[in-house]
Structure 1
Amino acid sequence: MANTSDLSRGCFIRYNNELVQVLEYEHRTPGNLRAFYQVKMRNVKTGKLVENRFRAGEDIDLVRVDFRELQYVYKEGNALVCMDNETYEQLYIDQVLFGDGLQFIKEEMNVKIAFDGDLAIAAELPLTVELEITYTEPGVRGDTATRTLKQATVETGATINVPLFVNTGDRVKVDTRTGDYIERVK
């Protein structure tokens, strides 16, 4: 049996007979009181956020989760059809698992899916993706001195903010967690 010192960000535990993923945890030792862990968790089935305080050394039920790398093929209804690269089996993964990063995913991109048995419980996108700008207002020569941003549409249809020197047809690197422009790719 594991205890609270085995907690880490992203691990899965069973809490109140529900499968939850640890989002944040902090070890606190206030003054002359006992140490404890403040843990913020997300319920895998409902998506509900839960916070709890565990005593230091308290037993917890860690759940072993299998991660598989799948290739995104296409979207069908509220599910994404992904193919296992080894068995070529097609699986339907609920789009809710991808969160806001779903707008930056494009076909043939590899994603990591966490499974509890045969049930998909979490999805991880690559941290950054390279996308082509399909439309943006043209930049004016000499507008590179300030950190001013403009709207741009990328090939997946998402809208991001880019610097003024980025033009239509340029390839840019985008952070899938926040949707922020990182750099122009050559």
Structure 2
Amino acid sequence: MISSNDFKTGLTIIVDGNLWQIVEFLHVKPGKGAAFVRSKLRNVETGQVLEKTFRAGEKVDTAHLEKNEMQFLFTDGEEFTFMNTSTFDQVAIPKSSIGDGVKYLKEQMNVHILFHGTKIIGVDIPTHVELKVTDTPPAEKGNTAQGGTKPATLETGAVVNVPFFVEIGTTIRVDTRDNKYLDRV
């Protein structure tokens, strides 16, 4: 149990039997009446955002999350199989639970999987991944003065805008949070 006075951004709590992550919070002390905490919560499983007000000092259950490093092995249609790197246990996770990060998954890549008990809550893909360009149009001569970009398809199927000098076979670093080209490797 934690007091609403001790809220922190990113803390995961249990409200009405669901897991919620604190996105924002604000301690309010009005001139008249009791203090309260206004918060914005995001449902960990559905992504729904909720604004909720707690009385100052109100007790809330905290969720105990476990983060395990796991290695991506293979995909079987809509399910992705991961292996725990320490116990060698395997777990299959549906594509919908991984979200947009699925387009960056490469075999043998290590990721962090969040568990609440035995329930899988989410998959944390690394923020920067190195992938090889498999398809991109050829560079256009004389068109580089403005520093333009062109689309490039990566080995995982993701499409990223890259500078004109990037060619097929080049390994690049991509930011998975906003799908942006960072640099050549």
Establish whether TM, by shorter chain, passes 0.5: yes
Once the two structures are overlaid, the 10-residue window that deviates more, 33-42 or 133-142, is 33-42
1:28 shift after superposition: 5.4
CA contact (8 A) 2:161 2:180 kept: yes
Residue 26, structure 1, aligned to residue 25, structure 2: yes
1:42 matched to 2:43? The reply is yes
| Residues 138-147 or 68-77, more deviating | 138-147
Count of residue correspondences: 183
Name the amino acid aligned to 2:67. Answer: F
Identity of matched residues, % = 35
Gaps of 5+ in 2: none
* Superposition misfits of 4+ residues, deviation over 6 angstroms: none
Letter of the 1:41 partner, please give it: R
Name the Cα RMSD after superposition: 2.2
What are the equivalent positions in structure 2 for 1:13-162 lying under 5 Å apart?
A: 13-22=13-22, 24-27=23-26, 29=28, 32=31, 34=35, 36-44=37-45, 46-162=46-162
Identify unmatched segments of 5+ residues in structure 1: none
Alpha-carbon distance between aligned partners in 1 of 2:36 and 2:63, rounded to the nearest angstrom: 24
Between 1:51-60 and 1:127-136, the stretch displaced more is 51-60
Change (3 A) 1:93 1:6: farther
For 2:41, give the aligned amino acid: K
Structure 2 vs 1, CA of residues 103 and 69 (structure 1 numbering), >3 Å: closer, same or farther? same
Following TM superposition, by how much is the alpha carbon of 1:21 offset from its aligned partner in structure 2, in angstroms?
2.8
2:10 corresponds to 1:10: yes
TM, length-normalised to structure 2 = 0.87
Structure 1 residues 25-83: Cα deviation after superposition (integer angstroms, max 9, x where no partner):
13254875746332231242x44333323344332211111110000001123221000
